Homo-oligomer: A and B are copies of this chain.
Amino acid sequence: MKKIITLGEVMLRLSPPGHQRFVQSQVLEVEFGGSEANVGAALAFWGHHAIHITSFPDHEIGWAAKSALRSNGIDTSFVQFSEGRMGIYFLENGAMQRSSQVIYDRADSSFSRFDGKNLDWDTILEGSDWIHWSGITPALSQESADLTLKALQKANEKGLKVSGDLNYRSNLWKYGKAPYEIMPKLMELTHVMIAGIRDFNQCLNQRMEDFEAVKDFAFSRFKQLEFISKTERISHSSSHNTISGALYSKDKSYYSKSYELTHIVDRVGTGDAFGAGLIDGLLERHDPQEAIEFAVAAGAIKHSVPGDILNCSKTEIEELIAGLSGKIKR
């Protein structure tokens, strides 16, 4: 069991049941999720001590959000309540050739307005092994960018490993800064980056086209960087994807097996499940090959579970890697 910190916004997710469209639905299913907390929840499910840092509005919906984190095993001792709304995202689950749709309603959320001044990072980081952030947070607001920087600086001081999922989203970055003005500072403080070509290009204001070049550029620019990882996904339809992943150290590349995913239940949070698998893999497994296999299988099996959160055991994931799946377990 390791102690792992995650930092980021948690939103209220509202989705029509089954394959209904928004316009058809008389009820919306409630989940609470966010990229970084999703990572923490999977790690907590596997027995790690996962602490999530975030802030909610101080009313019943905010309390319900905290309760949801707790039910997922996350340590919420440092969760704050502060001014602002509850971030919301509306998710319509696609099916067949119809795409899933996300409508974000997250502007002016408590988290995006949260400056973290009252957080005691020394206490939070005490005895911790790892901190995980994503590129979504610095894209929300100057406060969020500053908060991320502060956390990473403190974590580096304390000797934690830092992972970051660059996760560039074009519909964010509305507060007057471009990614390349903010991200490089954060990347310098990071040991493990999850990112594809587009993420690197956006964050570093580049236009590279070949991942080999991107990878070399990154390793040369960021001295502290130990690993880059990414997933490959082919979306045949909302119900059928193919996924695999790769992990790169400065001088070696590790490729996972590929999974054919049909009958997809819930596509959301699969990247976060991959991230959690990668962190656990790098922390608990000696071999990077095993780490990337575990990460990809974690991401793959998440597609079978409704909601943002991966709640599959390591045994289930390892059985998937071993090719055992689909029999009734009695």
Q: Does A325 lie within 8 Å of B71, measured CB to CB?
A: no
Q: Which residues of B contact A261 (CB under 8 A)?
A: 96-97
Tell whether A61 pairs with B86 under 8 Å between CB atoms, given A19-B304, A102-B329, A304-B97.
no
Task: List the number of copies, as a whole number.
Answer: 6
Count of chain A residues with Cβ under 8 Å from any Cβ of B?
80
Is the pair B238, A326 in contact by a Cβ cutoff of 8 Å? Answer: yes
Quick check: B326 and A97 within 8 Å, CB to CB? yes
| A206 sits at the interface (CB 8 A) | no
Chain B: which residue is nearest A300 at the CB level?
A: B97
Instruction: Please measure, in the bound complex, the distance between the C-alpha atom of A198 and the C-alpha atom of B117, giving whole angstroms.
Output: 41
Contact of A263 with B95 in the complex, beta carbons under 8 Å: yes
Q: Is the CB of A95 within 8 A of B304?
A: yes
Q: In whole angstroms, how far apart are the Cα atoms of A216 and B325 in the complex?
A: 33
How far apart sit A319 and B98, CA to CA, in the bound complex (Å)? 9
Q: A169: CB under 8 A from chain B? A: yes
* In the complex, residue of chain B having the shortest beta-carbon distance to the beta carbon of A237: B326
Known: A262-B239, A329-B102. A24 touches B311 (CB 8 A): yes
Cα distance A237–B316 in the bound complex, in angstroms: 13
Q: How far is the CA of A198 from the CA of B259 in the complex (A)?
A: 31
**Taking A28-B28, A262-B239 as contacts, is the C-beta distance between A101 and B18 under 8 angstroms?**
no
Asked if A254 is at the interface of the complex by the 8 Å CB criterion, the answer is no
Q: Does A251 contact B (CB under 8 A)?
A: no
B94 touches A328 (CB 8 A): yes
A320 and B97: CB pair below 8 A? yes
Identify the closest chain B residue to A319 (Cβ): B99
Does A272 make an interface contact (CB < 8 A)?
no
Are B67 and A23 in contact (CB-based, < 8 A)? Answer: yes
Contacts of A262 in B (CB 8 A): 96, 237, 239-240, 262-263
Contact mask for chain A residues 220-256; partner B; CB cutoff 8 A; 1 contact, 0 none? 0000000000000001111111000000000000000
1/0 per residue, CB under 8 A from B, across A258-277: the answer is: 01011111011000000000
A241 to B200 Cα, complex, angstroms: 41
Docked-complex contact A97 and B259, CB < 8 angstroms: yes
| Cβ of A20 to closest chain B Cβ, rounded Å | 6
Interface residues of A in 100-122 (CB under 8 A from B): 100-105, 107-108
Chain B neighbourhood of A94, CB < 8 A: 304, 326, 328
Contact call A265/B96, Cβ cutoff below 8 A: yes
Q: Give CA–CA (A27, B27) in the complex, Å.
A: 6
A-B contact pairs, 27 of them (CB 8 A): A18-B306, A19-B306, A22-B60, A23-B67, A23-B311, A24-B311, A25-B30, A60-B101, A70-B73, A85-B105, A85-B107, A95-B304, A96-B264, A97-B261, A97-B300, A97-B325, A99-B326, A99-B329, A237-B262, A237-B325, A237-B326, A239-B262, A239-B263, A240-B262, A240-B263, A240-B326, A262-B262
